[in-house]
Structure 1
């Protein structure tokens, strides 16, 4: 048996204002996107903004449904739209933020497992790391790659 250790690197900011300009802009687009959330059941509005390789930003919000599995997370909504609009254009980064009762949550809201897997395949399709910016009322976290969130991703993607 061999015991191994896994470490991740990330950058933590005490305020959204400390973020570099491009990351702050992307996160602000995710914050704006929370207003498009349909979340009458959880009251948890999530916004995501995706930066494409051409600099365009595509944003979306979560959409709930009374049949809970039929809803869609903000991350997948934004990524699926981005890929349908620009099927061959790489994704550079995604920003994610959540709010409750109109206030950004005090803790970062990380992507669920399904969203992490979609992000992983997006990164594979893009051919380079996809940066993840996760905002909260108390600052932001920036991960340089999806692999930091899902190091053991299913990777049987068509080549």
Structure 2
């Protein structure tokens, strides 16, 4: 038997103000998108901004539905729109921010499992890593270099 540790590097910034100008702008675009989330059931608002290789920024936010499985997370709203509107254009960075109407969220919220899988699919398809930035309403910002960092041993089309 063999044991192996899987690790990755995570950059932790104390606030959005420590980010590069480009990353700061992208996260602020995500914050703006978060404000338009439709979350009357969970009161949990998520905003996403995606920087494409052509310089275009695509945004999205969570869209809930009384029939709970019919809603869609912000990450998939944005990434599916990017794929539909800009097919073949690579994704460089995804900025994600979340907050609760019920309390101030100061811890970064990572994508759910379904969103990790969807982002992973795009990363495998473009054969380049997609950087992820994550934050709550305020406070620390986490940044990792690839979706594969937070979804090791991911399922992809090579298994089909």
TM-score (norm 2): 0.94
Give the Å deviation of 1:124: 1.3
- Equivalence for 1:36: 36
Residue 49 of structure 1: SS of its match in structure 2? strand
Residue 151 of structure 2: SS of its match in structure 1? coil
Give the Å deviation of 1:101: 2.4
Query: In the alignment, is residue 62 of structure 1 matched against residue 62 of structure 2?
Result: yes
For 1:45 and 1:126, the matched residues in 2 are separated by 29
| 4+ runs deviating over 4 angstroms | none
- Equivalence for 1:146: 147
Give the Å deviation of 1:102: 8.9
The total of aligned residue pairs comes to 158
- Equivalence for 2:123: 123
Residue 157 of structure 2: SS of its match in structure 1? coil
Task: Map 1:31-110; keep pairs closer than 5 Å.
Answer: 31-101=31-101, 105-110=105-110
* Alpha carbons 1:108, 1:134 under 8 Å: kept: yes
Residue 109 of structure 2: SS of its match in structure 1? coil
- Equivalence for 2:3: 3
For 2:22 and 2:37, the matched residues in 1 are separated by 24
Give the Å deviation of 1:19: 0.6
TM-score (norm 1): 0.95
Question: Over residues 68-100 of structure 1, what are the superposed CA-to-partner deviations in whole Å (9 max), with x where a residue is unaligned?
Answer: 111000000000000000111011110000122
Stretches of structure 1 that go unaligned for 5 or more consecutive residues are: none
